[in-house]
Structures are given as C-alpha cells and as structure tokens.
Structure 1
Amino acid sequence: MLIGGQRKPVHSIVKAAMLAIWLCSMLFAGPSAAFAHAELEGATPEQNTKYEQSPKEVKLAFNEAIEAKVGSLEVLDDKSRRVTDADPKTSADRKSITLALPKLGEGVYTVSYAIISADGHPVSGSYVFVVGNPPQGVDASAFDPHKALGHEGHGASTELTTNQFIIYAVRSLYYAALLWTAGLMIWPLLARGRGSMLQDIQKKWEPIALRTLLVSVLLYIFVHAREILKGYPSGDYSKLFLETSVGREWIAMLVLALAGFLFVRMHPLARTLWAAAILGVESWSGHAAVFSPKAASILFDWIHLLAASVWAGGLTLLLLLWSKDRKEAGRFAVVFSRAALLSLMLLVLSGVGMTLLFLPSLKYLFYTSWGTLLLIKTGLVVLVLGVGGTLHLKVRKGELPIAVLLRADAALMALIIIVAALFTYISPLPANEPVTYHQMGDKMHVSFRVTPNKAGDNEFTVKVWLPDTVGEAKSVLVRLFSLDRKELGPIDVPVKPFEDTELTDFDGFVKSAYQAKGPFIPFAGRWEAEIRIMDKDDNETVQKVDFRNY
C-alpha cells in the first residue's frame, strides 16, 4: 500500500488507531474519574437534627474536590435572614467547606450551599436544623382567645365586619379613657409648681376620668367576654376569668381601675407609678405579648401607650386651661409643647419598633386590615407632628397657642385613639390555611397536604393512587423550593410510608401513603413542593404544588 508516495505496512496504521482509542478511553473513563461530580457526604450540624446548644460552625464534606473561590455557604434564621456575613473557608484538600457561626438562639435554621465541583459542575442544596425549643411561627391563630378555652370554630379576627361595630365603639371608649386617665395622673409630676389653677383643674377632672375608666373597663370586659363565649355554656365564664391569661389580665385591670381612687389622693410620684402599672397590664394583654422577643415587644408597646398618655393628658389640661385663662394656658403650653414633641417622637419610634417585630416584612402592611389601619394611623401622626410643631414654634416665640390648632390637635388625637382601638383588635398577620391539593387522573391520583402550614413544625402527607395493574408506588420524594429565595437549594422532606386509616379508596386503584413531620418550612413565604413519584417499572411522574404561608 502506498501513501504519499511511501510504502507503509497496514499493521502500523492499525496500531496507531488502537493507541489513539486507548488514550481516549484512559482520558474519559480512567480511574481518575475526571468528570465525576462532587456530592455531599457529610454535614455538621446534621440534616434535620435538633441541638440543645448552638453549633460553632457549619461544615460540609464532599466526595470530590470543589472550587475554592467559587460558590457560597450561608445560614438563614426563621425570617430568612443571614445569621453571619463571614466568608466560608475551604480545606487544604478542597473537599470540605466551613462557615463559623455566632451563638444562635432558639430557632429553626436553614443551611444553603451552592458550590462548583472541580470539573465545573454546579452542586446546590439546603437543609434545616433546630436549636433549642423554638416557639411556633405566629399567624392570626395566635390571637384567638377561644383556643385557651378549648373552643373551635370562631377563628381570629382578621377583617372588619358590621357586626363588630359595638365592640369597636366600646374599645374606642376604653382606650380613650385609659390614655386620658393615665395622662392626667402623670401630669401632676410633670407640671409641679405650675399654679393653683392647674391644680384645681386636676383635682376636679381626675376623679371624673377615673369613673369613666372604671365604667369603660367594665363595658370592655363584658362585651369581650360575651363575644368569646357566644354559644358556649355559662360555666365557661369561670374558666375564662380564672384559667386564661386574658381573663386574669382583665381582673388585674379592674383591680387597678378601682385602686386609682386611692392613688389619686397620694403623692404625684405614686400616681405616676399607678399609671405606669395600668398601662403595663394593657401592654401585657395585647398583641405585644404574642411576639418574640417578648420583653422587647411589651416594652415597645408600654412606651407607646405611655407617650400617648402624656400627650392626651397634657392636651386635655391645655384645652381646659384655655377655656378659663388664656395667659395661664400659654404658660402651661411651654411645658406641654416640649413634652408633646418628645411623646410624639417616642410614639413614632416605638411604633416602628413594634411593626418591625410584628411583621416579617413591610409587605405585610398590605395583606390585612391591620396594615391598612396602621397606614392610616401613620398619616394621622404625621399630621399631628405638623400641628404640634407649629404650636411649639408659636410658644417658643412667646405667642399664645392658636385655638384652631388646639382643636385640630384634639380632633387628630381622637381619630388616632379610634384607629388604635380598631387595629389592636385585628390580627397583624393573615391567617394561614392548611395546604390541601388533590389531582385526579386516568393513570394516577395525587393528594398533598401540609398542616398547619406555617413556619416551623408541620405535618406533610402525600397519597398516591396508581392503577391495580401498576401496583403501589415504588418511592415518593418531596422537595421544597423557596420561590422568594430562588438562590436557595431545595429542602428534602424525608417522607416515609405510613398506615393510612382514612377512607380514601378509589375503585381500580391501589393507594400508597407517605408522611413526615418536622420544621422543613424554616421561614414564611411562597413555596413550591415538588413531588416525584416512581412506579415499580421506574417510570417517574413529577407534580408541583405552589403554596404560601405568613
């Protein structure tokens, strides 16, 4: 055979071809496994594990080397916030990655990783672990007093209805009386030595305010107790007042309202302490008592009420003085304007603090009537700041307060109290509903449930019906994807077969039931459940279910 004018034996060409094939096989399928992908072999803290103490670090070990400078590892808390901004470190052999952690409080935490294996293949995933005994996620159900009595069916108030107007009217009276009375009891300490006229007004109106408060407290308790126990036996009244926190707080409020008639005769400091105590009881029994950290939430609410009381009580005294002696009112206005501006600043700061504690994000302001009313209240407070600032400037110049501005300030105060009475009765958070999904088909039926569907512990149930000719499902896998944090890897829900006693059979089909319990929804938001069903012939079907929780 001649090639290019030279003779080459055929066997030389065959040898060359065989050598090339051998080299290719060594390159692509040799023992070095150059194109194998890194897989997670071990994790500390372990997946789906509860720890009594905070782990010091997260360490993920892979079976192959990973790129040292590409990828991410982060830990999120139950509000999907990063717990540390530290950078992860890769080991010398590049087979593990470590992230140092600060001391973690009780809660559900998500470990999310996205790395690149040495061959350039992306690998990502997420899992959860628990520290201590975290409280359950809060939604509208947390504000339902019926649960404390073992009652079901009423639900928490999330929206305004016409049937609740009488409750809101009583609440408006109650909050107005509470702030007015507490403010009048505080001002003798703030305005000591301000003349006999102011003292005479205080002595006249403090008993009137206390009587109004006592009547409003009685009405408040009667109306709310009647609403809670509507349709239940009268014997539950004793349980409500003696065995629930809300009932005991009502009793404490009534006792303090009666004690006010004794404290009004005491030193101004004692009256101020009484006002602080009765405002503290109201803070302890409101929305603030549900959220954590509880101490911060209650403190913000107490400061909010205290600031509102100083403003309400001082404005009342200024208006009463204005009707008697304009010059005396002008002198008191110097003290009041300073206290009012400080009170309004504290109102704004404490209100912002409570809102940030109550709501996972400011988007929640648009999910319920609570948010709508809070926005209205915010607008009213802005108007008050404008009116109060103008009054303060007039007083600083030595001028008398303008009557129109005083009336406007009083009208805005009344509106704010009414709005506060409304939105303190409504849940700040929307109500979560269990996920109930069912899909019928010729070749398969699928049912998927998540109960109660909130951040934290949930029960996941998957039921699959396959034709009798196919038989039971070989395996079922459930993975959760965060639609709000799409950069996070999927969270595997380790569902296992269980004996289902519900009568949910279909003719011609055989049922397979799987279940898992645990904190696999680590934070509230929008989620997608991916259900992968494998039959005995390894045919896989994928169902996707979108849901959300608050």
Structure 2
Amino acid sequence: MLILCWFCAAGSAPARAHAMLVGTQPAADAQLERAPDRFQFEFNEPVLPLRFSLFDQTGAPLALNPPQREPGDRIVLRPEAALGSGTYLLSYRVTSADGHPVAGSVRFQVGAAETSAIRSEALARLQAEAGTEAWRWTVVTLRWLLYASLIFGVGGAIALALIKAPASIMGPARKIALRACGCAAVLLVPYHLFATAALLGATGFAVLMPGTWWLMVSGPRAWTLAATAAGLAAIIWQLSKAGNKLVTAAGAIVVALGFTLTGHTASAEPAALVRSALILHILTGAFWLGSLPLLLLAARRLTAPEAKTVLGRFAIVAGPAVLVLLACGGLMTWVQTDGDLTALWTSDYGVRLSVKVLLVLGLLAVAAVNRAKLTPSLATRQSPGGKRWLVRLLTVDHGLAFVVVAATAILSLDPPPRLAMLHGTHGISPLAMGSEMRLSAGEEKLTVLFSPSVTDRTTVTLDYLDAEGKPAAVGEADLRLALPERGVEEMQWRAHRDAGGKLRAENVTVPFAGRWTLAVDLFVDDFTKRTFIGEARFDAGPAGHDMAAMGGGAHEGPHVMISDLDGAVMNENADHLPIDCKSLTGDIAITLHAGKRYALPGFVFGYDRYQWDVPACSRVTVTMVNEDHVRHQFMMHGLPRYLYPQGMIHLEADGGTSRRATFIVPAAPKTYFVHCDMAQHTEKGLKAQLKVAGGNGDLPNIPGITAPNPAEAGPVQWVPATYPTIIAGLLLLVVPLIFGAAAFARR
C-alpha cells in the first residue's frame, strides 16, 4: 500500500491553489519619469483575462488594446493613446485554472507628483498653510498687486466705455487703464505660480520646478488663468486700438468669470446664484474704483462746470451700480457665514470681512460728501476752495481703494465660517481632522477614521469594539476599497499596530470620486477573522473633487454615508460642536416609530410623535423604528452646513428594521423641519418638527400641530431650471439699468 501511494504521488501533477499576481510593470505606486507604452502582469500560473480597465486621475476611462499572452504566465496590454503626466489606476480581473477570479488595482504616477484630483479647494488651502508666513504673505502681496491692477485696468476700461468725458482727459485716463492692464498681465503668471507652489506646501525654488508649472496649467487654476488672460487681451486691444466698446464688456465679463472658478466662493451653493452674484460684484466694484482716475483727472484738469458734468454722469451710472455691488456683497456674506452674522466678529475671516465692509462704508461716506457738498459748489462757485477739496477727497478715495483691495486679498488667509470645521475650529488640528465611518457585524462595532494629510495619502485608524462593547486588541487588519459600478477592482492596504497601540493603515489613496465599497478584515486571533462592509461616498465638489471621508463635513461638500441593505445614515456627527456652542449641554435620546398605524385622519403614514424639544448645544441620538413594510426616513434640514453637508442629518430604515444616528444641535433657538423624503411620504403624513431651545415658532402643515397649508413646509427645492431663471432675471434687471443710466449720462 505504501509503495502504491508513493507511485500515485510521484505520477500525479502538482496541485495548484488559486492564481496569484507575482508582479506588474509598472509596479504599484511607481513614480515614472516617462509614460509607459505597455503594461505587464505576471502570475504564478496561466490565467484567463476577464477585464482590464485604465482610469486617469479624474476617473475617466482610457481605451486599452486587447490583452496579449506572453510566455511565463504573463499578460501584456497597451494603451490606445499615449499617456500624459498624472496619476493613473490600472484595474485587472482574471480567472485561474480552477475558475476562481483574481482581481486588483495598481496605481502609478507619471511625471512629477501632484495633488490628487480628489482634493477639494478647502484641503488645498490646508496645504497652503504648510508654507512659511513669509511665503504666504508673498502670495498675498502678489494677489493684492494683481487685484489692484485689474481693478484700475478693467474697471478703468469700463468707466471709459460708460462715461462720456472731454478728450483732454480721456487720453490720459486710457493710458492709466492700459498701463494697469499691462501690470496685471505681467503679474498674472507669477501670482498663480506662487499660489500653486503654496498649495503644494512648497516654498523657495519650488516655483522653478516643472511639477509646479504643470499643476498650474493643468489644475483648477488653469481655467482662471486662461479666462483672465483672454479677458485682459481683449481689453488691452480695445484700449490701444479704440475698438468696439462691446469688446470691453466681453473682456470684463470673462475676467470676472475667471474669479468664479476657484476660491472660497466658487465652492458655495447654490452655485449658479452665488457665482452670478460674484460676477456682478466684481464688475460693479471694478467700475466704481476704476472710475477714480478719470474723476481725479476731471477735477484737476477741467474747468469747474466741465468737471461737474463728468461727475454728474458718473453719479448716474454709479448709483445703480453701487446698489448691485452692496446687494451681491450682502448675499455672499450671508453664504460665507452660513447665515450666522455673528461670525463677522467671532471668526478671523469674519473680522477681516468686517474691516473690508467698514472701508467700503468709508468710501461711500467720501462719495456722499463729494456728491452732496463739493460737486454742487463747482457750478454755483459759492466755495472757491471746493475744487481743491474735491481733488483732495478723490486722492483719499484712491488710497482707500488700495486698502479695500488689500483687505480683499487677505480674506483667503482664513477659511470662511461655513468651512471652519474643515480647518480645525475649536482647537482641532487641521491635519488630525477627519471623518468617521461606523460599521457593524452583529453586535461588534468598528469605527474607521480617515485622517487627511498635506499629500494625497491618508492614514486610516481602526477602533474595534467586541460584542460586549469593550475595546479589543487586534493585531492586523486588511482594508479594501473597490468601485464596482465603475469596474474598479479592490485596492488593499495592511493595517498594523503602531507604537501607541493604534491599528493604522498608512498611505491609503482614493484615486477619484464615486460610491466606494469599503471592506475591513480584522484578524482577531490566529483562527478568527471579522469582516465589516460598508459604503463611502467620495463625491465631486464644485471646485474639483472632495473626499467625503476626509471632508469633516465641509459645506456643500460630499455626504458621509454609512449604508447597507437595511438602510443608511448620512452626515452623523457625535463629536464636533457648532461654532456657537462652547460646550455640550447634555445627551438626549429620541425613539421614533414610523408606520401606517400612527397616521392621523386624512394621512396614510405617520410618526408616533410630531414634535420634539431639545436644549441648545445638546447631542441628540435618534433611533427610528420602521413598523411598515416600505422604507421610511428621518431627514432634518437647516443644520449648519460647515458640519452637515447640505445642512441635513438623514436616517433611512427598511421595513421592519431600525436605524440610529447622533447629531449635535446649535445654540440658536430654531424650529427644524423633519420629514421622510421617499416619494409622496411627506405629503402622506411623515413630517414633524424639532425645536431647539424652544424654537422660533411652529412650522406650517405639521400634522396635529398646525393647520394645513397649501404650500408644503419643506425646504425650497433648487431644481436645475431654477439657476438659469435666476441668472436671466438678474441680467434682465441689472444690465439694462446700468447701460440705460450710462446712455442717459452720455447725452
């Protein structure tokens, strides 16, 4: 028998396990100087190719030629088009001889390392803070000089197009505007180059590095740079050739449009309304300040009656322009403070903005004196010194204008209040600020903390609680991310215990936006493995891509969602206080039942309660029990957007299940709208209200509390058609008003 077994073993083929990837070219996380023209995968046994996918750093798929087999269990494939610089993700899926699929993804970089596309504008500003103070103020100084040049160049061109004046001052005013535009053209590239280096956290000779130049011309700033350059070119041509004045209007609009593509305001919502307001704010402000050289020339070189005529024509156009300027500025202030005007004196950004507002009020005061006292005296000759005082006050206006522009340039040194939590409000270190995901497997819990860094790599910390709710030591874990809907196979990182006993995975990357599947395998001991699975949304933001799990609740950024087949929790926050709360006042537990059995007469569905009262700054834990066979939700609107994306907390539970979420309410007395957003469920009875600190009244149409109202009590729904309607309305209102006033002034 032993001899027979020996012969059988000797004559049998070696048994193979599942196929394994031996190596790739390029290797995982490789930094390549040149783009590869072929990709190679080597396995430990023959495999059958199923799918290969190549993605660029924005998540766009790139075409690949069919895979070819080569000797040595290798598979080779080539891109159809040559690759440029950037980050790429190569995903593969093959099957081994036993039919078992083998899949994974390889990330590599071509050219100089650059900021990942998932970085939002807010995180880029965190990187800027890594530079020295001297470097930051160098960028601010360049920004100030560029803004001032654009104001007096573009604004001067607008003034020359709208205000009719004698030729004796039009020529010198045109030269001033032309020289200012020339200064702006000279400063444009250096400013964006230094600002790009600051975004990378670099200083010194980094502005000479090819990677900095490449990021400037390929990142979000590229469109701002291109728009500003194109608009300046049009205005310079018009000023030098005295061309069609419509060219001035087009160039000015293009320059203003460039400012809406990057910066704090570019990431605000509703995007179309805020960006339209910013364009009008820039154009009217540029006209006002850019008119000052023309007015000063009129006061110095013209006779008193001629100067009065020019000043009168300016006043006719400036009146509606200043009203538009103030209205748009007020709207953007409301957005940047998230509707909390106390932030104007309680935050660094707000204090700087308040200083700018006071300076603008100073300009208005000087303008009022000029208009009410000095300009009339030019005609009546009652005050021989009136013209001298007019020249002096216009000179003061020039100085105030430069200071106002400087105040604008330093606003970006601090994030606006709506983004304050992302930058470490309440003493939280910006680089330690992250977002948590809470996963469960039975009674066991796992908290996954994403901590951003100033590179495109992230540290993920895992905290495990056993079935008794006690912290348990785990030696190692595997963290896996995949994007099945896009054909991206799993990327994997190993988590180890660090010196402090924390289980961490280093250098985790999310290449681009999407709804990623997160799986964590915990190796509790040599024989026990626990697997936790959830979903994390990394969504595109207005100014690039925002990483949800790293956003910390950035305003209008991505939602942080935990979901499974039984429901979802979105935007949970159990730790971070609103900016108007100094401390937590207590914990409130609410158990909410939803179902048909609770419906009041005239409704189909209902909650068991329709109002809850909670103290200010309290931590509220809501447990929603769904007693129906269809999905129901607890969705509450109006929370601070710097903590809760879209200003909401969201629970969703499938029929016969329950969901729990925790959030912290602000200090201000307010009544919040609660409802179920499933189709027609709000109208059928699932709506309620939650009052903080007594609330600020009752909402209409809350079952059993307030009388029905034909208009539903829910928040305004901004549909896509709303934005072009608002823009068209603003243009129809403002443009004819300003040009009509200009036409009247030129008569």
| TM-score bracket, shorter-length normalisation | 0.5 to 0.7
Q: Deviation per CA, 1:201-233: give whole Å up to 9, x if none.
A: 233323212211111213212221332345589
Note if 1:423 corresponds to 2:411.
yes
Q: Counterpart in 2 of 1:390?
A: 369
Letter in 2 for 1:280: L
1:270 and 2:247 equivalent?
yes
Question: 2:464: which partner in 1?
Answer: 463
1:209-358 matched pairs, under 5 angstroms: 209-229=180-200, 234-237=209-212, 239-264=214-239, 265=241, 266-325=243-302, 327=304, 328-358=306-336
Give the 3 Å change call, closer, same or farther, for CA 522–330 of structure 1 in structure 2: farther
Matched, 1:370 2:349: yes
SS at match of 1:528: strand
Residues 334-385 of structure 1, C-alpha deviations (whole Å, 9 max, x = no match): 2223434433322211111112233322244456422221111111122222
Are the structure 2 counterparts of residues 260 and 471 from structure 1 closer, same or farther at C-alpha, using a change threshold of 3 Å? closer
Contact kept, 8 Å, 1:464 with 1:511, in 2: the verdict is no
Is residue 410 from structure 1 mapped to residue 403 from structure 2 by the alignment?
no
Identity of aligned residues (%): 16
1:372, 1:279 → 2: CA distance? 25
**Structure 2: which amino acid aligns with 1:247?**
A
Q: CA RMSD in A?
A: 4.6
Once the two structures are superposed, residues 296-340 of structure 1 have per-residue CA deviations (whole angstroms, 9 ceiling, x without a partner) of: 111110111111111111112112333333524333222223434
Question: Does the 8 A contact of 2:619 with 2:663 survive in 1?
Answer: yes
- The 1:153–1:333 alpha-carbon spacing in structure 2 relative to 1, beyond 3 Å, is closer
Q: How far off its partner does 1:512 sit?
A: 10
For the Cα contact (< 8 Å) 2:129–2:201, is it kept in 1?
A: no
Structure 1 contact 334–395 (Cα < 8 Å) conserved? no
Change (3 A) 1:242 1:381: closer
Q: Distance in 2 between matches of 1:164 and 1:258?
A: 29
Note closer, same or farther for the CA distance 1:234–1:407 as it changes in structure 2 (3 Å cut). closer
Q: Aligned equivalents of 1:397 and 1:172: distance in 2?
A: 35
Alpha-carbon separation, structure 2, partners of 1:173 and 1:461: 48
Say if 1:279 and 1:306, in contact at 8 Å, map to a contact too.
Answer: yes
Contact 1:303 1:347 in 2 (8 A): yes
Which whole-Å CA distance do the structure 2 matches of 1:499 and 1:331 have between them? 74
- Kept in 1, the 8 Å contact 2:572–2:663? The answer is no
1:417 Cα offset (Å): 0.6
Q: 1:199 aligns to what?
A: 170
User: In 2 relative to 1, CA 452–222 (structure 1 residues): closer, same or farther, beyond 3 Å?
Assistant: closer
> 1:262, CA displacement in angstroms?
1.8
Take 1:216 and 1:187, find their aligned partners in 2: how far apart are those partners? 23
CA distance in 1, matches of 2:263, 2:470: 59
Question: Per the alignment, in what secondary structure is the counterpart of residue 398 of structure 2?
Answer: helix
Select between 371-380 and 400-409 the one with higher mean Cα deviation.
400-409
- SS in structure 2 of the partner of residue 397 of structure 1: helix
Deviations, residues 385-443 of structure 1 (Å, cap 9, x unaligned): 222111111256343453343233222211111011111454222143336799xxxxx
Query: Is the alpha carbon distance of 1:283 and 1:435 closer, same or farther for their aligned partners in structure 2, counting shifts above 3 Å?
Result: closer
Instruction: Give the partner amino acid of 1:405.
Output: L
Letter in 2 for 1:434: G
In 2: Cα distance, 1:217 partner to 1:471 partner? 56
- Distance in 1 between residues matched to 2:294 and 2:271, nearest whole Å: 34
Change (3 A) 1:391 1:219: same
Cα contact 1:310–1:339 (8 A) shared by 2: no
Name the residue aligned to 1:434: 434
How far the C-alpha of 1:175 sits from its partner, in A, is: 0.6
Give the structure, 1 or 2, with the largest relative contact order (CA under 8 Å, sep 6 or more): 1
Q: 1:519 to 1:336 in 2, by over 3 A?
A: farther
Code of the aligned partner of 1:422: I
Aligned AA (1:222): L
Mapping of residues 423-502 of structure 1, within 5 Å: 423-424=411-412, 426-428=414-416, 429-432=419-422, 433-434=433-434, 463-465=464-466, 500-501=520-521
Determine the C-alpha separation between the residues in 2 that align with 1:422 and 1:470: 46
Question: Residue 499 of structure 2 corresponds to which residue in structure 1?
Answer: none
Q: TM-score, normalised by structure 1?
A: 0.54
Distance 2:225 2:235 in 1: 15
Cα–Cα, structure 1 residues 462 and 375, in superposed 2: closer, same or farther, change >3 Å? same
Q: Return the offset for 1:452.
A: 8.1
- Contact 1:170–1:220 (Cα < 8 Å) also in 2: yes
Distance 1:530 1:396, change over 3 A: same
1:117-136, aligned counterparts within 5 Å? Answer: none
- CA displacement at 1:281 relative to structure 2: 1.8
Show the counterpart of 1:486: none
Confirm whether residue 359 of structure 1 aligns to residue 328 of structure 2: no
Cα distance change on mapping 1:397 and 1:259 into 2, 3 Å: closer
Q: How far, CA to CA, are the matches of 1:276 and 1:154 in structure 2? A: 27
Match of 1:11 in 2: none
TM-score normalised by L of structure 2: 0.41
Post-superposition shift, 1:462? 6.9
Go from structure 1 to structure 2 and tell me whether the alpha carbon gap of 1:545 and 1:463 turns closer, same or farther (over 3 Å shift): farther
Counterpart-to-counterpart distance in 2, 1:146 and 1:238 = 13
The alignment partner of 1:155 has SS state of helix
Displacement of 1:259 in angstroms is 3.7
- Kept in 2, the 8 Å contact 1:218–1:254? The answer is no
Shift in alpha-carbon separation, 1:317–1:522, aligned structure 2, 3 A: farther
Displaced runs of 4 or more, over 6 A: 149-154, 459-462, 466-472, 510-515, 522-525, 544-549
Separation in 1 of the partners of 2:214 and 2:302?
53
Q: Name the CA distance, whole Å, in 1 between partners of 2:138 and 2:226.
A: 22
Structure 2 CA distance for aligned equivalents of residues 222 and 437 of structure 1: 37
Q: Aligned runs of 1:86-165 on 2, under 5 Å?
A: 146-148=115-117, 155=126, 161-165=133-137
Q: Read off the aligned partner of 1:370 and give its amino acid letter.
A: Y
For the pair shown, the structure with the greater C-alpha radius of gyration is: 1
CA distance in 1: counterparts of 2:313 and 2:571, whole angstroms: 53
Aligned to 1:166: 138
For the Cα contact (< 8 Å) 2:230–2:251, is it kept in 1? Answer: no
Asked if the contact 1:185/1:206 (under 8 Å) is kept, the reply is yes
Report the 3-state secondary structure (helix = DSSP H, G, I; strand = E; otherwise coil) of the residue aligned with 2:291: helix
Distance, in Å, in 2 between the alignment partners of 1:286 and 1:150 is 13
SS in structure 2 of the partner of residue 337 of structure 1: helix
Contact kept, 8 Å, 2:189 with 2:225, in 1: the verdict is no
5+ residue gaps, structure 2: 1-113, 379-385, 423-432, 439-443, 453-459, 474-517, 535-561, 579-617, 624-660, 667-747
Closer, same or farther: CA 419–255 of 1 in aligned 2, 3 Å: same
Which amino acid in 2 is paired with 1:369? D
Native 8 Å contact 1:180 1:312 kept in 2: yes
In the superposition, relative to structure 1, how do residues 195 and 451 fare at CA in structure 2: closer, same or farther (>3 Å)? same
How far did residue 271 of structure 1 move? 1.9
